[in-house]
DNA sequence: AAACTAACTGTAAACGTTTACAGCATTATT
DNA sequence: AATAATGCTGTAAACGTTTACAGTTAGTTT
């Protein structure tokens, strides 16, 4: 059963296909009368233009691609939701690609996006390796990085300043009277969210006149279970710790649960501050004090930037799409998992 | 900058575009020699076929649409992840549409999917109203329902049997010695997840010889905050309750937190069982005992079914796509939020 | 009344593919 | 030796749009 085409509409309305096309795209070249006839025909036949054909001749697919590790992870889910809303505000669509941080999947998807003639792509939360950069470059469309950056390639990016955010978190703990501060970090090989946070922790401690001690940091993989394990390890290495900065909310909640199983009460005996402000952080018991990354906004803004670049590229017909990193604001969300030692001592 | 096309490849390899096309689609009509020349040319020119043009002539977009309330909700995120994996296993792509349970958005998206020539659509977790059904029907492609059903329209669906699942949950509580069992339900106007679960609760209670009491059920909206509020309301109406079935995990975790704030210990003084087995249910404290819906599998299977139907429709050239509801298995995940009264009494 | 303009309309070419069809060697069959 | 079959190739039409261009009509200016 063939779908209704522009030809059918033209015949039905007794005009040429050019006129129909003009009406659809409401060009000023169509007369009132023609418009009326055509609109009527469209309604009666239930016509809907074929985006494939449109895209082919206009060279516009109205589609962008999003490369993201895993939408089922609450962190990415939130970021993606922001992206999606921005995409639809711009009357466009999005192909989503879960890469699982797998090289082959990533490369396959990039190829795929090319075939689909996407007009831009968002690359989320992974390190931009040389191989990835080349694949992206060959796409020949604007690329925006979200929750990651790649200064060496000069790609535009939207993220929070991790170093600064962690630094603020540590200062907050110190302001609350803590000086024996531990950390549960992501892996240091992770150049995006691992290393910079670790360094933020280390430098800020030193800046505040607190000696840095390697024993006070333990590593995890950002997930719940690893937080549960890590807190035990940390506390067994140094039971004197009164507060710990944890590199992700999920892992932080793991630490709370882990501490609880050890009979340690949060925040009375141990303060915990997380990172991300993912929705589950309000649901933990006690509710998690954390660094808000405005994930939704990060996604939204990344896509907005992408559309600006697409617009710009179209005008200038330039091939190269460079840009700086835009740092979006972060802030501390005070909930229940950090106690104020100073107040307590008064 | 024009992209490399099949013509460029043909010229470069000194063959006709038909031959190039044959090689790309590895048709047996291409000779070994031609294949070699063409492949070489493709590699050197970095050619990638244009999916828009392909789709136009072959009338295949290799794309399906997913209508889903909100991917940033962990429930849907998990379901969607299953869908996405199934889609990519079938060498296809997916347009995702967050409807926010908003009628206008839904209708707009359906129109949209039609323009994009999707070959099938997944409709998730909402009631199929007459208006929606008609919009979907006009798409003229197979539709599969996931986490919802619509017997009156005979649409194929994949979901768990809510009534049975709730019934099992109640029996489980009874088996653990509870007889004063409350419920935090979704709204009864919700024909998909509200009413059936409420009825499962009511009937099973009666079946087990426990009188049903309207006072023992309180309503929420499945979200955390409403669970927190609801448990207070429930307990104030009837402090004798020893266990409560809560219609979603998020709301159940809210109840745990709410109870805790009231100084009531879960599960020692109050048992709570949830519904969904969303990833955060392992992260609550105590970890939540719940009914597993295999969300990932639900999404995966829904998409698999959709592809089968697309295949079938292509062969039979039939317009109508009817089907039964496939109930996928559910099971009780025993964690820490339900206590066994019988064991305790021994 | 001729020439020009304005406001619209239709024809046809393009977009980048797939594929039916016809054609041409080459080999196999009579 | 003529015919048939096989294996491959290229030409051209189609897919459903957009849009440059030429054409038509009616109204305005001279």
pLDDT, tens only, A216-263: 999 999 999 999 999 999 999 999 999 999 999 999 999 999 999 999
Report chain A residues whose CB lies below 8 A from the CB of B296. 72
Residue A13 confidence (pLDDT): 94
Rounded distance between C-alpha atoms, residue B118 and residue B205, angstroms: 46
DSSP B346: -
Residue A220 confidence (pLDDT): 97
- Across the interface, of A53, A84, A283, the residue whose CB is closest to B98 is A84
- In chain A, CATH 3.40.50.2300 covers 59-160+296-327, 162-292
Separation of first and last alpha carbons in chain A? 81
Q: How far is the CA of A13 from the C1' of D23 (A)?
A: 21
Residue contacts between A and B (CB atoms, under 8 Å) = 128
How many whole angstroms from its chain centre is CA B120? 16
Question: For residue range A311-346, what is the model confidence (pLDDT) as tens digits?
Answer: 988 777 666 578 899 999 999 999 999 999 886 555
Closest nucleotide C1' to the C-alpha of A59: C15
Flag if A52 and B50 touch (Cβ within 8 Å). Answer: no
* Fold classification of A6-49 (topology level): 434 Repressor (Amino-terminal Domain) (1.10.260)
List bases in chain C with any atom under 7 Å of a protein Cβ.
7-12, 14-20
Closest nucleotide C1' to the C-alpha of B19: D9
- Across the interface, of B1, B61, B257, the residue whose CB is closest to A285 is B257
Best CATH choice for the domain A162-292 from the list 3.40.50.2300, 1.10.600.10, 1.20.272.10, 3.40.50.300: 3.40.50.2300
What is the number of residues in chain A?
346
Flag if B70 and A81 touch (Cβ within 8 Å). Answer: yes
Helix, strand and coil percent figures for chain B, each rounded to 5: 50, 15, 35
CB A161 within 8 A of CB A148: no
Question: For residue range A27-85, what is the model confidence (pLDDT) as tens digits?
Answer: 999 999 999 999 999 999 999 999 999 999 999 999 999 999 999 999 999 999 999 99
Q: Name the residue closest to the C1' of D14 by its CA.
A: B57
CB A285 within 8 A of CB B256: yes
Rg over alpha carbons for chain A, rounded to the nearest Å, is: 26
- Across the interface, of B85, B114, B253, the residue whose CB is closest to A283 is B253
Report the run of H or E that residue B307 belongs to, with start and end: helix B295-316
Residues contacting A42, CB < 8 A, separation 6+: A9, A23, A24
* Residue A338, Cβ density class (10 Å: 0-12 exposed, 13-18 middle, ≥19 buried): buried
Rounded distance between C-alpha atoms, residue B235 and residue B244, angstroms: 10
* Fold classification of A59-160+296-327 (topology level): Rossmann fold (3.40.50)
Residue among A94, A53, A111, A67 nearest B95 (CA): A94
Closest nucleotide C1' to the C-alpha of A32: C8
Average pLDDT in the A98-106 region? Answer: 94
Flag if A93 and B116 touch (Cβ within 8 Å). Answer: yes
- Across the interface, of B55, B80, B257, the residue whose CB is closest to A52 is B55
* Residue A237, Cβ density class (10 Å: 0-12 exposed, 13-18 middle, ≥19 buried): middle
Flag if B50 and A70 touch (Cβ within 8 Å). Answer: no
Reduced to 3 states, what is the DSSP secondary structure of residue B239?
coil
Residue B345 confidence (pLDDT): 56
Residue A315 confidence (pLDDT): 75
- Running along chain B, 346 residues long, what does each successive block of 10 average in pLDDT? 90 95 93 93 95 95 95 93 94 93 94 95 96 94 96 95 96 96 97 95 96 95 97 96 97 97 95 96 96 96 96 73 91 96 67
Q: How far is CA A271 from CA A225, A265, A289, B256, in A?
A: 19, 9, 9, 21
Flag if A283 and B71 touch (Cβ within 8 Å). Answer: no
List bases in chain D with any atom under 7 Å of a protein Cβ.
7-12, 14-20
| Two structure tokens written together for A230 | 């890590």
Among B24, B89, B96, pick the best mutation site for testing chain A contact (most A Cβ within 10 A).
Answer: B96
Residue B322 confidence (pLDDT): 85
Flag if B56 and A52 touch (Cβ within 8 Å). Answer: yes
- In chain A, CATH 1.10.260.40 covers 6-49
Find the closest chain B residue to A249 by CA distance. B283
Architecture of the domain delimited by B62-159+296-327: 3-Layer(aba) Sandwich (3.40)
Rounded distance between C-alpha atoms, residue B241 and residue B181, angstroms: 6
Q: Does the CB of B148 fall within 7 Å of any strand D atom? A: no
Find the closest chain B residue to A55 by CA distance. B52
Question: For residue range A136-186, what is the model confidence (pLDDT) as tens digits?
Answer: 999 999 999 999 999 999 999 999 999 999 999 999 999 999 999 999 999
Closest nucleotide C1' to the C-alpha of B3: C16
Three-state secondary structure along chain A? CCCCCHHHHHHHHCCCHHHHHHHHCCCCCCCHHHHHHHHHHHHHHCCCCCHHHHHHHHCCCCEEEEEECCCCCHHHHHHHHHHHHHHHHCCCEEEEEECCCCHHHHHHHHHHHHHCCCCCEEEECCCCCHHHHHHHHHHCCCEEEECCCCHHHCCCEEECCHHHHHHHHHHHHHHCCCCCEEEEECCCCCCCCCHHHHHHHHHHHHHCCCCCCHHHEEECCCCHHHHHHHHHHHHHHCCCCCEEEECCHHHHHHHHHHHHHCCCCCCCCCEEEEEECCHHHHCCCCCCEEEECCHHHHHHHHHHHHHHHHHHHHHHCCCCCCCCEEECCCEEECCCCCCCHHHHHC
Q: Does the CB of A5 fall within 7 Å of any strand D atom? A: yes
Q: Does the CB of A340 fall within 7 Å of any strand D atom? A: no
| Two structure tokens written together for B208 | 């087990």
Rounded distance between C-alpha atoms, residue A53 and residue A31, angstroms: 25
DSSP B280: G
Rounded distance between C-alpha atoms, residue B135 and residue A215, angstroms: 62
Reduced to 3 states, what is the DSSP secondary structure of residue B119?
coil
In DSSP notation, B120-155 reads: -EEEESS---HHHHHHHHHHTS-EEEES---GGGT-
Flag if B112 and A96 touch (Cβ within 8 Å). Answer: no
Average pLDDT in the A108-122 region? Answer: 95
Other Cβ atoms less than 10 A from the Cβ of A105: the count is 16
Q: Does the CB of A39 fall within 7 Å of any strand D atom? A: no
Distance from B240 to chain A by nearest Cα, in Å? 24
| Two structure tokens written together for B153 | 């329209």
- In chain B, CATH 3.40.50.2300 covers 62-159+296-327, 162-292
Report chain B residues whose CB lies below 8 A from the CB of A74. 72, 74, 77, 279-280
Residue A1 confidence (pLDDT): 66
């Amino acid at each position: 059963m063939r779908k209704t085409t522009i030809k059918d509409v033209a015949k039905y309305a007794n005009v040429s296909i050019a006129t129909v096309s003009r009406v659809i795209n409401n060009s000023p070249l169509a007369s009132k009368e023609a418009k009326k006839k055509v609109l009527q025909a469209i309604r009666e036949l239930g016509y809907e233009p074929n985006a494939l054909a449109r895209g082919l001749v206009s060279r516009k697919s109205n589609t962008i691609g999003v490369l993201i590790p895993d939408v089922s992870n609450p962190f990415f889910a939130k970021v993606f939701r922001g992206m999606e809303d921005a995409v639809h505000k711009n009357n466009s669509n999005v192909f989503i690609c879960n890469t699982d941080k797998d090289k082959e999947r990533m490369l396959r998807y990039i190829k795929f996006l090319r075939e689909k003639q996407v007009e831009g792509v968002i690359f989320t939360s992974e390190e931009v390796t040389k191989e990835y950069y080349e694949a992206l470059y060959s796409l020949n469309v604007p690329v925006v990085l979200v929750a990651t950056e790649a200064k060496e390639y000069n790609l535009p990016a939207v993220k929070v300043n991790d170093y600064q955010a962690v630094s603020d978190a540590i200062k907050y703990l110190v302001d609350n009277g803590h000086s024996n501060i531990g950390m549960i970090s992501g892996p240091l090989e992770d150049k995006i969210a691992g290393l910079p946070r670790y360094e933020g922790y280390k430098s800020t401690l030193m800046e505040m006149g607190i000696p840095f001690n390697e024993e006070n940091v333990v590593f995890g993989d950002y997930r719940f279970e690893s937080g549960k394990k890590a807190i035990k390890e940390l506390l067994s290495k140094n039971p004197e710790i009164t507060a710990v900065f944890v590199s992700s909310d999920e892992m932080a909640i793991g630490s709370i649960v882990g501490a609880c199983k050890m009979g340690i009460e949060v925040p009375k005996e141990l303060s915990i501050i997380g990172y991300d402000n993912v929705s589950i952080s309000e649901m933990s018991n006690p509710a998690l004090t954390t660094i808000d990354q405005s994930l939704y906004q990060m996604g939204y803004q990344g896509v907005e930037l992408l559309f600006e670049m697409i617009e710009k590229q179209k005008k200038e017909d330039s091939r190269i799409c460079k840009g700086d990193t835009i740092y979006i604001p972060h802030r501390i969300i005070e909930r229940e998992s950090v106690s104020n030692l100073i107040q307590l001592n008064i």
